[in-house]
Amino acid sequence: MVYLALLFLLCHGLYIYLLLTVLFHFFTAGKPLIISHNGASGDYPGCTDLAYQKAVDDGADVIDCPVQVTKDGIPICLSSIDLMTDTTIARSQFISQTATIKDIQIAPGVFSFNLTWDDIVKNLKRKLN
């Protein structure tokens, strides 16, 4: 829970920093700041290397990446802390780790902080919608 509290504070601090950066950029450069949420998610699945690279190639000034943390403390860009949302975890051996954490969501899930980076990268694939 300490990691979640620190991540919460970090994210809010980053949003304040981002807001100040946007205002500074707008008033000093006279042009809007281009912020990409999850990369070029209209062209590629969000939170993927392809989406982030396309956003950079398209001229995004800022890339907004939702960050989740693995059991071993590795930050990963993933839109949901629940791996059921974006990965093939439902068809893996990790489905047995399904839990309900009411402070996070009402529905049961398998959360990024329950698996190591190695568990995720070696056993799960991104679910493409």
Q: How far apart are CA 89 and CA 126, in angstroms?
A: 9
Give mean pLDDT, residues 26-42.
81
| Residue 54 belongs to a domain | no
| Residue 119 belongs to a domain | yes
Confidence of residue 2 (pLDDT cuts 50, 70, 90): very low
**What is the domain count for the chain?**
2
The strand pair at 62-64 and 67-69 is best described as unpaired
Q: Which of the residue ranges 10-19, 52-61, 72-81, 82-91 would you say has the lowest mean pLDDT? A: 10-19
Residue 126 structural domain: 80-129
| Residue 46 belongs to a domain | no
Q: Quick: pLDDT tens for 62-105.
A: 888 889 999 999 999 888 999 998 899 999 999 999 999 999 89
| Residue 73 belongs to a domain | no
| Residue 61 belongs to a domain | no
| Residue 48 belongs to a domain | no
| Residue 26 belongs to a domain | yes
State the Cα torsion 70-71-74-77 to the nearest 10°.
Answer: 0
Give mean pLDDT, residues 109-118.
96
